[in-house]
Amino acid sequence: MSNAEKALGVFSRLIGKEEGVSDWFELDQERVNAFADATLDRQFIHVDPEMAKNTPFGGTVAHGFLTLSMIPYLSAGITPADPAAYEGMVMAINYGLDKVRFPNPVRTGKRVRMRRELVSADLKPPSQIQLKQKCTIEIEGEDKPGCVAETLSRIVYG
């Protein structure tokens, strides 16, 4: 039995379960400005605190795509539910997204964290597993999350 096939057995038992929760991380104005510079998206609601005061947000907000882009960093802080699923892993790669929503703006200066749940795991011969994970980025002190995304990744085994 290959490493990928063994791992699929482990992942299959974890489907529908929360894999973990990351630590809190602050999305401050400096990071929002840097993202605006990198993406050339300098809309005032992100970078001009004075103008943004007069919006329904009451101040600047992080770009939705900045919030989404935090998924790899926040994921790295989640301990695998069963490390055996990663035995023999050579690398993991982003494969794409199935669904992304931004139900609540992340106000600049707020802290976020991520909950991750395994939705599915499929063998992709000869030596890969495709994972679909529901990633929910919560905003400290708020009921609605800032982002909910179904990510697709490929785990490559040796």
pLDDT in tens, 138-148: 999 999 999 99
| Predicted local distance difference test score (pLDDT) of residue 23 | 97
Q: Within a domain: residue 47?
A: no
Q: Let me know if 38 is exposed, middle or buried by CB neighbors in 10 A (0-12, 13-18, 19+).
A: exposed
Q: What is the CATH number of the domain that holds 8?
A: 3.10.129.10
Residue-number span of the structural domain to which 14 is assigned:
3-26+63-157
| Predicted local distance difference test score (pLDDT) of residue 81 | 87
Structure tokens at 124: 């992709």
Q: Within a domain: residue 8?
A: yes
Q: Within a domain: residue 57?
A: no
| Predicted local distance difference test score (pLDDT) of residue 45 | 98
pTM of the model: 0.94
Q: Within a domain: residue 81?
A: yes
Q: How many domains does the chain have?
A: 1
Average model confidence (pLDDT) across the chain: 96
Mean pLDDT of 74-100: 94
Q: Within a domain: residue 153?
A: yes
Tell me the residue ranges of DSSP E strands in the chain.
Answer: 18-21, 25-26, 89-101, 111-124, 128-139, 147-157
How confident is the model over 15-26, as pLDDT tens digits? Answer: 999 999 999 999
